[in-house]
Amino acid sequence: MDATQIARVADLLLVAQHAVALTGAGISTPSGIPDFRSGQAGLWKQHDPMVVASLAGFRASPQTFFGWFRGLARQMVEAEPNAAHYALATLEARGLLHSIITQNIDLLHTRAGSQQVYELHGCIRQLTCMRCFKQFPAAPFLKAYLDDPTMSVLTCPTPGCAGQGILKPDVILFGEQLPARVLAAAQREIRQCDLLVVAGSSLEVYPAADLPRRALAQGASLVIINREPTYYDQHARLVLRGDLVEVLPQLVSAVEARQAW
């Protein structure tokens, strides 16, 4: 990676008043979590998303969803934050990054120490009963589900449901609206930002893909760090190609060197 490019991003961070990061699947693939769409690791290579991961599909056949979800859930539970996650947490701790808006559901930003994280597509932190709408911490249910290969669905333990309610992970499925409060908060961050750093997102999935447009429209600088080209590259102040687990720690080092001057 060109050190000059990284230095220029570091300079932008140091003068920004309200820098925000937008992250996608590319920041978590080094932790072993596959991208839903790209390459041979894409989770839709052998599955129709409208069957296994849509809200209508979940309601019609939760067993099909949980049969598909088992492998992904195990990967997320066993994954550890990588150097890119920790680098963004360090930038936030140093007061140079105000928040992270993420399309990921894996909780790795929070586990790396980031405090202000907006999870646009939900997360695996909680489960919600589709019958009584009570919410539960996901960890004990996921452990039982992963430990018992015969468990076909997760059911609500409340007496009123008596095992009749199906627990759905609080992740956004196809055909489901994004969480309104989180989306509104993310859009507020974009309105306030003067620098948006996109890390590991193809910027193809809306409404997340509209956030760079909003940032540019109100005068913010745009930096894109991604392995592959995106639609917004031509509009970005800087575009860096490379592995995020290398680029983002180098960016932290560049910032720290300048702050030490």
**DSSP secondary-structure letter at 114?**
-
Structure token digits, residue 14 = 């140091």
Distance of alpha carbon 113 from alpha carbon 23, whole angstroms: 15
Calpha distance 228→35 (Å, rounded): 13
- For residues 241 and 199, the answer to whether their CB atoms sit within 8 Å is no
Residue with tokens 């963004």: 88
- Please state the φ and ψ torsions of residue 117, each to the nearest 5 degrees: -125, 125
- The type of residue at 146 is L
Q: Which of 47, 98, 121, 235 is catalytic?
A: 121
| Contact yes or no for 232/198 (Cβ under 8 A) | yes
Calpha distance 195→9 (Å, rounded): 10
Residue for token digits 């452990």?
143
User: Residue 216: in which H helix or E strand, if any?
Assistant: helix 211-217
The question of whether 121 is a catalytic residue gets the answer: yes
Catalytic residues: 121
